[in-house]
Amino acid sequence: VDGSVLDREETYEDATSTAEFLLSRTDHRPTIGIICGSGLGGLANVLTDTDSFEFRDIPNFATSTVPGHASKLVFGSLQGKTVVVMQGRVHMYEGHTAKQVTFPVRVFKLLEVKILIVTNASGAINRTYKMGDLMVICDHINLVGLAGLNPLVGDNDSRFGPRFPPMSSAYDNDLRSIGLKLSEELGMKEFVREGVYSFQSGPMFETVGECRLLNVLGADVVGMSTVPEVVAARHCGIRVFGVSVVTNCCVMELDSDDQEPSHDEVLEMGEKRSADVQRLISKFVGKIID
Ligand SMILES: O=P(O)(O)O[C@H]1O[C@H](CO)[C@@H](O)[C@H]1O
Ligand SMILES: Nc1nc2[nH]cnc2c(=O)[nH]1
């Protein structure tokens, strides 16, 4: 990552110039933004009539260094709606600031996106969850943000949103209901849950003690992304729907024979469930009023 990019804070003017850059190169005017998690970027391939940009060619965008994150921004049509899809995301553990990680969301706002769909891969903390489950996110625990590393720290630009935004209904109740109903209609009831996503910075996976702590705190799954994006989206009034793919079960006992997590396993399970995520998100996009 270019140090000069790391050292400065992205401003409203930066987001405006990035939005203008994109709007002058595509005729699409998306109202729905989608961020694809590890191994889940295939969703971008089902869009039609696409205009695609590499993150590295977009002014002020950071580029992902993580396998399974293609670093492309794809505009196109999905189920009759105009959408913009991040095929891959950037994470704070890559060395990006919270503001860089969430910069695309603020650009989405200036593109007049109204609804953000976030997807990710996560590890199960809830002992009743199984590998391959999908979890509609109903809430999050922002351990990193509570400790002061979040995109809203610093000067507040009220053109984006208020100084003190509420987060008590971060994951829109109506959108969750629609998502859960559609998952039933698609015959996914057996493996679709609703639960709480906890965010730790990574890149290391959790110790047994950390997993147990998260369990006591009420987390159902844990991951290394999504929450900064959701905080930035809610700050600027974008409604959020989130789906997590449980790619592995966290190790909850010391000296157990349980499989240790690895990114290869995460990608493998993400790709296995990718078709189901695509079906659910496509149907969801077709159904929602944006
Ligand atoms: O959250 P996404 O981007 O899906 O990726 C998840 O998978 C990676 C770990 O394997 C971490 O980046 C974690 O956050
Ligand atoms: N922190 C964390 N992130 C993940 N992403 C996918 N699986 C995991 C996990 O077990 N822990």
Q: pLDDT, tens digit, for every residue of 114-167?
A: 999 999 999 999 999 999 999 999 999 999 999 999 999 999 999 999 999 999
Question: How many angstroms is it from 38 CA to the middle of ligand 1?
Answer: 5
The predicted structure's pLDDT at residue 9 = 84
**Residue pLDDT, tens place only, 9-44:** 899 999 999 999 999 999 999 999 999 999 899 999
pLDDT band per the 50, 70, 90 thresholds, residue 277 = very high
pLDDT band per the 50, 70, 90 thresholds, residue 7 = low
The predicted structure's pLDDT at residue 6 = 47
Residue ID of nearest Cα to ligand 1 atom 14? 224
Taking the alpha carbons at both ends of the chain, their separation in whole angstroms is: 35
**Residue pLDDT, tens place only, 229-260:** 999 999 999 999 999 999 999 999 999 999 99
Residue ID of nearest Cα to ligand 2 atom 2? 223
Strand extents, DSSP E, 100-258: 115-124, 134-142, 192-199, 221-223, 239-249
Does 121 carry a binding-site annotation?
yes
pLDDT band per the 50, 70, 90 thresholds, residue 3 = very low
Does 225 carry a binding-site annotation?
yes
- Tell me which residues have their CB closer than 6 angstroms to ligand 2: 121-123, 200, 202, 205-206, 222-224, 247-248, 250, 261, 266
117 forms bridges with which residues in the sheet?
34, 241
How crowded is residue 21: how many other Cβ atoms within 10 Å of its Cβ?
Answer: 16
**Residue pLDDT, tens place only, 54-77:** 999 999 999 999 998 899 999 999
At 203, which CATH number? 3.40.50.1580
Identity at 260, one-letter amino acid code = E
Residue 185 has pLDDT above 50, yes or no: yes
- The answer to whether the peptide bond before residue 203 is cis (omega within 30 degrees of 0) is yes
DSSP sequence for 43-88: GGGG-EEEEEEEGGGSTT-----STT---EEEEEEETTEEEEEEES
Provide the percentage of residues in the chain whose pLDDT is more than 90: 94
| Residue 176 neighbours by CB under 8 Å, 6+ apart | 136, 138, 194, 241
- Tell me which residues have their CB closer than 6 angstroms to ligand 1: 37-38, 66, 89, 91, 120-121, 202, 223-226, 263, 266
CA distance 93 to 91: 5
Mean pLDDT for 277-285 is 97
Residue 4 has pLDDT above 50, yes or no: no
Determine the structural domain holding residue 149 and report its residue range. Answer: 3-287
**Residue pLDDT, tens place only, 98-127:** 999 999 999 999 999 999 999 999 999 999
Provide the number of structural domains found in the chain.
Answer: 1
Residue 2 has pLDDT above 50, yes or no: no
Any idea which residue has 């989405």 for tokens?
108
